[in-house]
Amino acid sequence: MVENEEEGIFCAKCNVKMKLGVIPKYDYEEGYTLHNVKAYKCQKCNNVFFTEEQAHEMEARTSELKEREFGFERKVAVSGKSLIVGIPVELAEHLHIKKGQKVKIVPIAKEGFMIRKTN
């Protein structure tokens, strides 16, 4: 595809001038769906082209999505009368949590709780 600032962007297949528009949904990276993505589109073959700037924007939005979903999913288990949740090894190592570590459980609204080291 050829990008020319004065004349616009042309579809490599059809050699038709592409139109700037918005794609409702686009997976820049698999599994991370972005909404309302700016892109150039060929009216003839629906070919899509992104400028470098548009690609950078998608990249930034994708990493934002990733940060927001960062976390560990665990199932609640039972031990005696208590419900227990395992602490992932990666997280324990990162936070230097070992057996015997004292923690405080702090409820957060009605969504859940936060666990904090107390020493």
CB nearer to Zn ion: pick between 45 and 115: 45
CB nearer to Zn ion: pick between 13 and 116: 13
| Residues at the interface with Zn ion (CB under 5 A) | 11, 13-14, 42, 44-45, 47
Q: In whole angstroms, how close is the CB of 14 to Zn ion at the nearest point? A: 3
CB nearer to Zn ion: pick between 23 and 87: 23
Cβ-in-10-Å burial (0-12, 13-18, 19+) of 42 comes to buried
Q: In whole angstroms, how close is the CB of 24 to Zn ion at the nearest point? A: 20
Q: Is residue 97 classed as helix, strand or coil in its secondary structure?
A: coil
| Rounded CA separation 15/2 (Å) | 9
Q: In whole angstroms, how close is the CB of 13 to Zn ion at the nearest point? A: 4
Torsion angle, alpha carbons of 82, 90, 31, 23, to 10:
110
